[in-house]
Amino acid sequence: MILVTGGAGYIGSHCVLSLLKKGEEVVVFDSLVTGHIETIETLKQYGKLKFVRGNLQNLSEILEVFENNDVTSVVHFAAFSQVGESVKDPQKYYYNNVYGTLNLLNAMLQHNVKKIVFSSTAATYGEPEYTPIDEKHPQNPINPYGSSKLMIEKILDDYDKAYGLKSVRLRYFNVAGADSESIVGEWHDPETHLIPNILKSTFSGGKPFAMFGDDYDTKDGTCVRDYINVEDLVCAHLLALDYLNSNGATTYYNLGTNDGNTVKEVFSSCELVTGKDIPVEIKARREGDPAVLVADNSKAKKELGWSPEKTLEQSIKSAYAWEVKRH
């Protein structure tokens, strides 16, 4: 059985769906602080899924999951992930993300479970020194969210050396889209991400889309990001589990497409997909946004045999289908 922490959240729910469709038995552990019970109800229709509501900050709650289930490996998504909030309230991020993970690892070691796929982030690299960013790029996060994820990466290295716990850390770039059948999708409250925010402005009563800065040193003045489709991203998690199951060593991979799009390009693509003129307001730059963030994904391609296939347009189409369904 595979334990998925944070399985009621955006990326976690897509991973659970793929695992269930593959015939895996899954137990989801989620506090439902940012995840949704409706997502779990939906996912239950797709296979053998058990749900435990609990918080990683309580060791006894996660220990109980290992006591009651035959967990063989873990995919660990549960975390707070808003950069701005992490700057205002770092304690919330270090307690939840770092301390919560320490409890999870404690429970794993007590039950001799030694395989974990961990959601890390491009935010561990900080301000890029060069792009595309490969895994050799220095990791100097510029906010507590990125720092909390980097701390966990370091803990995972030390736990491997000392206890033989094997991990694959997946450093996500900008995750986008929803599953192609609109079974699950992106559902954050408040929503801070680009594509859902643009799409929200297409619905009646929606506020104009706020574009944060058009004076960056890029081809059209707006930030460049590497948008990786959530289904492609999830494929890498399944490959990482296979890799660990065949006794792979601890490692880490960038998950992105090797290609970037500006905010204006994403916006135009949203207008094309929805067939609507979307109201927009140019606002000041958002603090902490680097001009360009693009992944070099060759390590994951070479070693995991992973290859992202979906285009930005496909991600926007699936995200829009999901938003329409939600409205």
Interface contacts to ligand UDP, rule CB under 6 A: 174, 192-194, 197, 210-212, 223, 225, 263, 286, 289
The least distance separating ligand UDP from the CB of residue 169, rounded to whole angstroms, comes to 17
Tell me the residue nearest to ligand UDP as measured from the CB: 223
- Cβ(136)–Cβ(301) under 8 Å? no
Q: Which is nearer to ligand UDP, 286 or 301 (CB)?
A: 286
Q: Which is nearer to ligand UDP, 23 or 205 (CB)?
A: 205
Q: Which residues are within 8 A (CB) of 148 and not within 5 positions of it... i.e. 6 or more apart?
A: 79, 86, 93, 94, 97, 98
- Cα 242 to Cα 16, 116, 159, 288, distances in angstroms: 15, 11, 21, 36
3-class SS at 109? helix
The least distance separating ligand UDP from the CB of residue 112, rounded to whole angstroms, comes to 36
Q: Which is nearer to ligand UDP, 149 or 225 (CB)?
A: 225
3-class SS at 270? helix
Listed in sequence order, the DSSP H helices in 166-297 are 194-200, 230-245, 263-274
Distance of CA 75 to the CA centre of its chain: 12
216 is catalytic: no
The least distance separating ligand UDP from the CB of residue 53, rounded to whole angstroms, comes to 28
Q: Which residues are within 8 A (CB) of 121 and not within 5 positions of it... i.e. 6 or more apart?
A: 81, 145, 146, 149, 171, 172
**99, HSE (Cβ side, Cα atoms, 13 Å):** 11
The least distance separating ligand UDP from the CB of residue 116, rounded to whole angstroms, comes to 23
Outline where DSSP puts E strands in the chain.
2-5, 26-30, 49-53, 73-76, 115-121, 166-172, 174-176, 209-212, 224-225, 227-229, 251-255, 261-262, 280-283, 292-293
Distance in angstroms (rounded) separating the CA atoms of residues 211 and 223 = 10
The least distance separating ligand UDP from the CB of residue 210, rounded to whole angstroms, comes to 5
Supply 291's token pair: 């001009």
Q: Which is nearer to ligand UDP, 64 or 271 (CB)?
A: 271
The least distance separating ligand UDP from the CB of residue 219, rounded to whole angstroms, comes to 14
3-class SS at 102? helix
Catalytic-role residue among 10, 125, 145, 253: 145
Q: Which is nearer to ligand UDP, 61 or 214 (CB)?
A: 214
Q: What residues act catalytically?
A: 145
